[in-house]
Chain A
């Protein structure tokens, strides 16, 4: 299936800003995070089609997945 992956902040560094990528049917958000070797301690927010999700959320063909770092403090 095709997943449009958008990376925010430090996740972009050395990777990409936005890319459509292929994953096997039944993949979870965690599979994409592992595939891209994102540092999990920095993963703060997961959005699928602009709605909050988490690492265990399943993905469907055509989904737009946004991965954001943590947000805290001022």
Chain B
């Protein structure tokens, strides 16, 4: 970036980011320093990419005009803890309106690729059109600035995410990598392809410990473009920590914001896996396609019940002290660590475990690993499989696909393999399309075409307004469970004021675990920006930019044809209320009607004022 101001909110145009546009059809590669339009652009991530997507009218995700935008955030590659994020944005193949138009979407992951990418000197890479032959993009730091080159990638075709990364690592031992798996390669039949991002740990150990940008089928978009991998090659730009960033980093570790995510051995909460214990108190751990039964089955995947049989190791991304990865390995008979299996986070563990009736940790781990190796979003994958199982339970006389039922590990495995290889579009295209083709949509657990994460919809009406996946783009998932909020006023306030600010992390280049409850509009971030860039930016500047970016996302959804009816929860929530969930029942039709009326009253007015009423016309 070229920075010629200390006031990025007032003078964003005095800051330029370095963009490379690659025309995959012609092979033409163009570099440009692009002045920022506003603070959203300066912060980066989806704050910038959605402004570019908004300039296009896209009716089908798989068309030449739909760009794939790879970028970073302002603090990616900085000394601020967790500053490792890479963002992938495009109109999504999986998330779309009932009108048939694809929604703008971003997905993000950690690992070291983002920092290496930033350190090449590039801030953004846009792929236009598609390549006739499979390629990978080599992004290199040179004396003349960053250089991007397309290389033949036929030798990578068919390899798993991990194998692609390891094959490229042999060739580029000083680089980091982003790669798709067979799912993304089979984009025609698989809309839930993820992008794997390499970690130091993975490259050193040879174990498949990647991170993933999973949501929204950005791996399928890469596959459609015929770009199988990205290689970022640069020297590590590690500079000494300034006093301000050091103080912020210490606060991240010791200040309590990330306490629940840190390892138990360090006095932390043990990562997102610990959500199992909390949700189970309310009988709110999703079981058998989001139908908790009020029994103890979910406890089988409690950490305390897994630990005796498996080795659990807390590990981290490059230079991150939060150490949020709970890596599960087999335990050898002598108690030593055996083969690495998978990382246990709450979402994949639940959605490829308890929610499909799998209560064996080893089996759940194998399914997570399989989905990761094929490069699929574990949330969309798990929820579509649970839908199939629920359908088969309702139709024992005429089951679909391989007849998989809850708890059938072998059949679940078979479905993942077939979907990953592009042989099962019924799974690969997600639960919205499958349920519509079967005319049984009420128990397909997606909102606006994107499968929901492992928080029961009964506990989170805010899903309706999440702009890029249920929990990471609308922070209301704990409002009922954690805060006990069951009145409409609190929910209107939560959705329209505080909880949307969670998306700020998807602009600036940091993990949400940096400070999930407070977001990026804090003194900590202000101090980091001052120290890293000399910026005089205020908390209010940041809040305005994050809010504007969120509103743009919502406005873009409306422009892609979403009707107000689609801002809702799966119908089963209303039609067949779950009697076991021990929380106030707020998701009644009346509550939702009132909530919608009041939330839209706020959002409509603001979208109109900020973007104009013409913006949402396709």
Contacts and interface: CB of A to CB of B under 8 A. Distances in A.
B346 A74 contact: yes
B209 to A, nearest CB: 19
A37 interface: no
Nearest to A45: B482
Main secondary structure of the interface of A (DSSP, over half): mixed
Contacts of B267: 39
Interface in A22-59: 39, 41-42, 44-45, 47, 50-52
Contacts of B471: 73-74
Interface residues of B, number: 35
A7 to B, nearest CB: 10
A71 to B, nearest CB: 5
A73 B272 CA distance: 6
Size bin of chain A's contact surface? 20 to 34
A42 B259 CA distance: 7
B278 A44 contact: yes
A70 B346 contact: no
A58 to B, nearest CB: 17
Main secondary structure of the interface of B (DSSP, over half): loop
Contacts of A39: 267
A1 to B, nearest CB: 23
Contact of B277 (A8, A52, A73): A8
B393 interface: no
B559 interface: no
Nearest to A39: B267
Contact of B482 (A50, A66, A71, A74): A71
Nearest to A47: B281
B472 A69 contact: no
Interface stretch (B429-437, B509-517, B587-595): B509-517
Contact of B478 (A13, A66, A72): A72
A19 B512 CA distance: 36
Nearest to B275: A71
A52 B278 contact: no
A3 interface: no
A68 B259 CA distance: 14
Interface in B418-436: none
B279 A73 contact: no
Contacts of B279: 71
B267 to A, nearest CB: 7
Contacts of B274: 9-10, 69
Contacts of B277: 8-9, 68-69
Contacts of B346: 73-74
A13 B307 CA distance: 13
A74 B453 contact: yes
A39 B270 CA distance: 14
B272 A66 contact: no
A73 B257 CA distance: 12
Contacts of B482: 44-45, 70-72
Interface of A: 8-10, 12-13, 39, 41-42, 44-45, 47, 50-52, 66, 68-74
Given A10-B264, A72-B261, A74-B477, 14 more contacts: A8-B277, A9-B274, A13-B264, A41-B259, A42-B269, A45-B278, A47-B281, A50-B582, A51-B484, A69-B277, A70-B278, A72-B517, A74-B347, A74-B455
